């Protein structure tokens, strides 16, 4: 599809400088864009690219528009506007309703007439697939599970028994919702499995990246709030609650029964131990290890940045002797205190 720059300005509360009749066909980066494409810039350290890009138009904030000679769509938030323009120009592929001949659908399942059930999908007893939902190849929708209206399971997604996916969700390949939580009771030298009897409930507008796993609760439910965005290869353990509009990057692990508030961000490869409370509007940087509850909004870090190996080895050696150095310092302090007292007398 093609949309004029003037139409984009009307839809997204922008202002055109340049050719309002320019037909835009594709969203692209400044480096790869061509004359039919629109790109954006929100980080001023890349201003020099405005002179070299071949983009037909660029989405810019007002202060940056002077650096662009060609057509510009001026908006308050270029990144957000670009996201909306890209959604318009590149919508999700349309599908026809129905079911592929190889799909296995239980007679007791309820599948909306407007939904699509793809090749080799299994829909078990009592499951429900609602209006305009898309169930891609190889998915499993377990017994009494539910997939909300307009949600898309891209392919090879598992929705476990009695788990539910809200409306307008997007689940990428390999996602598993409702696998058993890691619950075992010690029995001498062995372990006895604790049955995991809860569910997983996803709110509306949730996106879950490839190969992310969300365990069902042990007794109560694992809850993922509306608007939550989860990257690839995240592990969310049983009974975790994640508040609305929180975003979590790849390789994060969240242990059981932790509660994370609304509008939080968690950087890649962070680890969060179990039974913690993290309030709303907390931002945890990449690689951090969180072992205590966070009760005040703000940014938190615990990881160390990379440094030259030789310097790191020296510091590691010093750290190894930290206890010895502390004892020596204590002795020196005691001697100094004794010397001061003798001097005063």
Using one digit for the tens of pLDDT, what is the confidence trace for 248-283? 999 999 999 999 999 999 999 999 999 999 999 999
Could you give the maximum distance between any two Cα atoms of the chain, in Å? 99
Between strands 15-17 and 71-74, the pairing is antiparallel
Give the integer Cα–Cα distance in Å for 170 and 164. 13
Residue (of 177, 91, 93, 96) closest to 139 by Cα position: 177
Kindly state the tokens that stand for 32.
Answer: 């790869």
Using one digit for the tens of pLDDT, what is the confidence trace for 35-75? 999 999 999 999 999 999 999 999 999 999 989 999 999 99
Give the integer Cα–Cα distance in Å for 306 and 211. 28
The number of CA neighbours under 13 Å toward the Cβ of 11 is 16
Backbone angles phi, psi at 47, to 5 degrees: -55, -35
Q: In the predicted model, what is the mean pLDDT of residues 285-291?
A: 97
Between strands 289-290 and 271-272, the pairing is parallel
Helix (H, G, I), strand (E, B) or coil at 118: coil
Q: Note the pLDDT of residue 32.
A: 95
The number of CA neighbours under 13 Å toward the Cβ of 278 is 32
Give the integer Cα–Cα distance in Å for 75 and 49. 19
All structural domains of the chain with their residue ranges: 3-89, 98-300, 309-344
Q: Which of 172, 199, 204, 238 is catalytic?
A: 238
Q: In the predicted model, what is the mean pLDDT of residues 81-110?
A: 96
215 DSSP β-pair partners: 179
Q: Note the pLDDT of residue 269.
A: 97
- Tell me if the domain spanning 3-89 has CATH number 3.50.50.60: no
Give the integer Cα–Cα distance in Å for 150 and 129. 10
| Cβ atoms 230, 248 nearer than 8 A | yes
Going by the DSSP 8-state scheme, the letter that residue 271 receives in this structure is E
Q: Does the active-site annotation cover 275?
A: no
- Tell me if the domain spanning 98-300 has CATH number 1.10.760.10: no
Q: In the predicted model, what is the mean pLDDT of residues 320-332?
A: 90
Give the integer Cα–Cα distance in Å for 274 and 302. 17
Give the integer Cα–Cα distance in Å for 213 and 29. 32
| Cβ atoms 153, 173 nearer than 8 A | no
Taking each helix axis as running N to C, give the angle between helix 309-320 and helix 322-344, from 0 to 180 degrees, rounded to the nearest 10: 60
Q: Is the dihedral of CA 156, 169, 207, 163 positive or negative?
A: negative
Q: Note the pLDDT of residue 345.
A: 62
């Amino acid at each position: 599809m093609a949309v004029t720059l003037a139409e984009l300005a009307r839809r997204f509360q922008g202002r055109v400088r340049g050719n309002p009749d320019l037909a835009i066909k594709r969203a692209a980066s400044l480096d790869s864009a061509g004359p039919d494409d629109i790109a954006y810039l929100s980080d001023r350290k890349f201003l020099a690219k405005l002179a070299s890009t071949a983009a037909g138009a660029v989405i810019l904030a007002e202060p940056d528009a002077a650096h662009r000679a060609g057509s510009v769509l001026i908006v308050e938030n270029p990144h957000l506007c670009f996201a909306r323009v890209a959604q318009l120009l590149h919508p999700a592929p349309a599908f026809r309703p129905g079911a592929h001949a190889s799909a296995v659908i239980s007679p007791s399942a309820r599948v909306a007439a407007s939904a699509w059930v793809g090749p080799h999908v299994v829909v078990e007893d009592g499951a429900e697939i609602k209006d305009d939902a898309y169930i891609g190849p190889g998915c499993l929708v377990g017994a009494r599970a539910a997939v909300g209206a307009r949600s898309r399971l891209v392919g090879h997604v598992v929705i476990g028994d009695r788990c539910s996916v809200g409306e307008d969700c997007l689940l990428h390949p390999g996602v598993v919702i409702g696998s058993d939580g890691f619950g075992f009771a010690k029995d001498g030298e062995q372990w006895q499995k604790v049955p995991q009897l809860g569910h997983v409930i996803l709110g509306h507008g949730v996106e879950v990246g490839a190969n992310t796993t969300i365990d069902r609760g042990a007794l109560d439910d694992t809850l993922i709030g509306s608007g939550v965005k989860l990257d690839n290869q995240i592990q969310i353990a049983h009974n975790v609650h994640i508040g609305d509009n929180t975003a979590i990057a790849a390789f994060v692990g969240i242990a059981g029964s932790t509660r994370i508030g609304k509008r939080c961000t968690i950087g890649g490869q962070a680890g969060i131990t179990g039974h913690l409370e993290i309030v709303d509007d907390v931002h945890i940087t990449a690689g951090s290890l969180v072992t205590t509850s966070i009760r005040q909004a703000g940014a938190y870090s615990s990881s160390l940045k990379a440094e030259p190996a030789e310097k790191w080895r020296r510091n590691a050696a010093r750290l190894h002797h930290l206890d010895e150095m502390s004892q020596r310092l204590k002795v020196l302090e005691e001697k100094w205190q004794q010397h001061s007292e003798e001097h005063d007398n």
